Structure 1
Amino acid sequence: MNDERIARSWLMLALGTGGQTAATTALYGTPFLVPAFQQELGLSLAAAGVLVSCPIAGILLGLIGWGAVADRYGEKKALAAGLLAAAGAMAGAAAVHGVGATGVLLVLTGAAGSSGHSASGRLVIGWFPPDRRGIAMGVRQASQPLGTGMAAAALPPLAHHAGLSAAFGLCAVLCGAAGLAVALFAVDPPRPDRPAGVRSPAPYRGGYLWRLHGAAAVLCVPQFVVTGFSLLFLTGARGWSPAAAGGVLAAANLAGAGVRLLAGWWSDRVGGRIRPMRLLAAATAANLALLTAGAAWDSPVGTAALLLAAGLTVSTNGLHNTAVAEYAGPHWAGRALGMHGMGQHAAVVLVPPLAGALIAGRGYTPAFALAAVFPVLAVALLPAADRVAHWPAPRARSGARPAGVAR
């Protein structure tokens, strides 16, 4: 890669990461508004969990469609349109006051913001060579703990002092600014032409992608248990103030971003994604077992394990997304990533209300114990080894063109 292409690849990485960080704040920031949902809207914990699930339900509606848009028309159009639409939906949520209207607008936010799951991943994979994709996707996937950390630090005190409208308004501003930046500065990566009338075969023969989809889906369950109820655990079970808990969780999520970077770097060094995923999944199971024990005996170990879980439960996200996009190739990655994300969100859409009901009835110990089972399932589901990637390194050539540009 020449200097100009390298500089452009890092700019695209910054835009993709920034866009996904803004979307994450809106899509996954609702767990930090559970106390506000209970106080301002008068909801029970289980009912507040339903509102937390609304953006996830919206993501399920939009993922594959946005993936097809990215494959057909390019990453820039899909990502910019989704972020700007999410900004509009969050602005609407800031303006309404009813539970039903808020839920509908949160669903629309999820459907619009889900463009980032397919489009920003394509944008990064398309501009980086295979031996740098792990660290590049680690940076891009760091957007989730970064966005979650931003939500943990900003949304609880903002909602406490200025109400839910102010918290939703901040999310709208972030999504709108990121969408405008993508629209102005993003460039789709080059991809090779296909002969007229020839379609690339779907990359779903055999079980490789299906096993990746399944492993990623079950790994999301403990992630959402920890993210969804860590604030309540620290404030309710450990007696922390909301501000202190939000600040510490923000720091823990920033550490989680660093864990993703290290996981990506590790996968580039070993030349594969599957072995690091398997080891990290096993470490996550052990950490959650420690969290269960710490919660059962009211030990400080539980608090420490919870903060460690904020990083470990998200450590594999960049690895499995990279593996899926590389194997699917430049003409199918958007739809494959959409299917990948759809499986993950289908697995967790009921986690907040069900985990909320379990915690309300039985406490945190059985919820954490159940969450520890899922990383063990992921270890069993993962493929035995990496398959040959179908997405070559980006390079200038006469047969390459940006997506969505006619010749």
Structure 2
Amino acid sequence: MLATLGFAVNFWAWALLSPLGPLFQDELRLSSLQQALLLAVPVIVGSLGRIPVGALTDRFGGRVMFPLVSAATIVPVLFVGLFGHGSLAALLCGGFFLGIGGTAFAVGVPVVNAWFPPRQRGLALGVFGVGMGGTAISALTTVPLVKAVDLTAPFLITAAVLAAYAVLAAVLLRDAPGRPRITTSVLRRLTGALRLPITWQASALYALAFGGYVAFSVYLPTYLRTAYTLSQADAANRMAGFVVLAVLARPLGGWLSDRLHPTRVLGGTLAVVVVAAAVQAFTPDLVPVGTIAFLTMATALGAASGAVFALVALVTPIEQVGAVTGVVGAAGGLGGFLPPLLMGAFYGSLQDYGPGLALLAVSAGVATLFTTFFSHRATATA
């Protein structure tokens, strides 16, 4: 519960810029590519930061790292809310350090993983993954707070919640009694993680599954506003619906992985993404076809994300889970960095988002074929 709460609070902070993307675009007169870059910067920093944070969690544990990451995220939240929203340069600087909140994922996975036996880790990590619903909190509250109060309100509230959680985690959070005590250097643990085949296999799959979720949670308001001329509030609410469904599907993916096998769950869910993305590439009417396509993708991407870490928990030595999680989590975040830039570039040059969604369908198709092949080997060895 504490790890999931910490994940949610930090992801709430990590996603603060996304609902305000259209507002910043209008006020600062940003191009499509500039807006996409603004939304993507926190994603790439939060992703790459997971690599050292995961290795540090192996060594120091979540009791130290969760309060530390939460407290550090307060600084960029206050900077953006109070000073950093007047120019693109200031927003990019604030967004860069806002990425710290995204590293909380690499803290929580090894913490939760160590508390559960292998047969229960898929569901446990899936439940922890519900914390990614922090992005939905941001989507549902940020724009209404700005309209009701002012632009600083959501940032001040988020900073206060982060501070409260940092204190709560420092007082109450405990690491599992049997957690291995790691004394080797961060560099050596990262090198060891990179030598494991599962690190690369899971990274590729997570880059697509969670990367797709991150990309849509960041860029969907802009997409819906541009492609379907929705209002800023309506687009943000629909993005929140996408996020909530993906969040609820993540424990389902973990639960199914405990009972079937993670690679079988991945093969099925990624095949669903192929179909839904291909349909949406033609920009059908939003009601009902577009809505069904996006909600189907949300469910499939959420379940696939849960299945990836069920696979990691199944085959990774427990003393390396943090380091592997950092690398795989980074790949997932980086998977969410490129699509918004591509979508912005495609629309800027072609006035059409279709090629970006078609590329998602092709990528998911390749991943489905890989998972189908990989499942035979993984089932035999796990």
- Normalised to the residue count of structure 1, the TM-score between the two structures is 0.82
Number of residues paired by the alignment? Answer: 372
- Structure 2 counterpart of 1:79, which letter? F
Name the CA distance, whole Å, in 1 between partners of 2:332 and 2:98.
18
Distance in 1, matches of 2:268 and 2:179, equals 35
Structure 1 segment 268-287 matched on structure 2, within 5 A:
268-270=258-260, 272-287=261-276
Asked if the contact 1:288–1:309 (Cα under 8 Å) also holds between the matched residues in 2, the reply is: yes
Quick one: percent identity of the two aligned structures?
26
- State the 1:161 CA deviation: 4.8
Structure 1, unaligned stretches of length 5 or more?
1-13, 390-407
Superposed, which structure 2 residues align to 1:126-141 within 5 Å?
A: 126-141=114-129
Contact 1:138 1:263 in 2 (8 A): yes
Q: Which amino acid counterpart does residue 241 of structure 1 have in structure 2?
A: S
**Structure 1 residue 354: Cα displacement:** 2.6
Q: Provide closer, same or farther for how the CA distance between residues 203 and 361 of structure 1 changes in structure 2, counting only shifts above 3 A.
A: closer
Distance in 2 of aligned mates of 1:359 and 1:181: 45
Alignment gaps of 5+ in structure 2: none
Who is 1:402 aligned against? none
Question: Take 1:165 and 1:340, find their aligned partners in 2: how far apart are those partners?
Answer: 34
1:202 aligns with 2:189: no
Deviates more, 1:130-139 or 1:37-46: 37-46
1:249 aligns with 2:239: yes
- SS of structure 1 residue aligned to 2:178: strand
Give the stretch that moved more between structures: 334-343 or 51-60: 51-60
CA distance in 2, matches of 1:38, 1:280: 35
Residue 184 (structure 1) shift? 1.6
> What SS is found at the alignment partner of 1:191?
coil
- Which range is displaced more, 354-363 or 65-74? 354-363
Partner of 1:93: 80
Alignment RMSD (CA, Å): 2.8
| Cα distance change of structure 1 residues 298 and 59 upon mapping to structure 2, 3 Å threshold | closer
The question of whether the paired residues in 1 share the 8 Å contact of 2:280 and 2:293 is answered with yes
Task: Say which of 83, 107, 112 aligns to 1:119.
Answer: 107
Q: Residues 51-62 of structure 1: matches in 2 within 5 Å?
A: 51-62=38-49
- Tell me which moved more, 357-366 or 275-284: 357-366
Matches for 1:314-353 after TM superposition, within 5 Å:
314-353=302-341
Which region of structure 1 is more displaced relative to structure 2, 148-157 or 79-88?
148-157
In structure 1, the partner of 2:71 is 84
Alignment-derived partner of residue 183 in structure 1: 170
Give the alignment of 1:314-393 within 5 angstroms.
314-362=302-350, 363-382=352-371, 383-384=374-375, 385-386=378-379
* 2:258 pairs with 1:302: no
Partners of 1:359 and 1:367 within 8 A in 2? no
Structure 1: distance between partners of 2:303 and 2:266: 8
Answering whether residue 70 of structure 2 is matched by residue 71 of structure 1, we say: no
Distance 1:221 1:67, change over 3 A: closer
Q: Which moved more, 1:238-247 or 1:17-26?
A: 238-247
Moved more, 379-388 or 38-47: 379-388
AA aligned to 1:25 is W
Q: Which residue of 2 aligns with 1:8?
A: none
Specify the structure having the higher radius of gyration (Cα).
1
Letter in 1 for 2:315: Y
Larger helix proportion of the pair: 2
Give the distance between the partners of 2:278 and 2:77, measured in 1 at CA: 37
8 Å contact 1:36–1:159 — kept in the other structure? no
Match for residue 17 of structure 1? 4
Q: Is the 1:36–1:163 contact (alpha carbons within 8 Å) kept by the matching residues of 2?
A: no
Q: Which residue of 1 aligns with 2:281?
A: 292
- Structure 1 residues 50, 257: closer, same or farther in 2, change over 3 A? same
Q: CA deviation at 1:94?
A: 1.1
**CA distance 1:304–1:160, shift in 2 (3 Å):** farther
Say whether residues 1:234 and 2:254 are aligned partners. Answer: no
- Give the letter for the 2:197 counterpart: G
Alignment deviations for residues 58-91 of structure 1 (CA, whole Å, 9 cap, x no partner): 2244212111211111111111100111122211
Q: 1:236 to 1:186 in 2, by over 3 A?
A: same
Match of 1:261 among 251, 254, 266: 251
Partner Cα distance (2:142, 2:219) in 1: 15
Per-residue deviation at 1:18?
Answer: 0.8
Shift of 1:205: 4.7
Relative to structure 1, the CA distance from residue 76 to residue 350 in structure 2 (aligned partners, 3 Å threshold; closer, same or farther) is: same
Measure how far apart 1:51 and its partner are.
Answer: 1.2
Give, in whole Å, the separation in 2 of the partners of 1:194 and 1:247: 44
Q: CA deviation at 1:19?
A: 0.8
Structure 1 residue 135: Cα displacement: 1.4
Aligned to 2:140: 153
In 1, are the aligned partners of 2:40 and 2:341 still within 8 Å (CA)?
yes
| TM-aligned CA deviation for residue 167 of structure 1 | 3.1
Q: For 1:360, give the aligned amino acid.
A: G
Distance in 1 separating the partners of 2:202 and 2:135: 24
CA shift, 1:334, in A, is 1.0
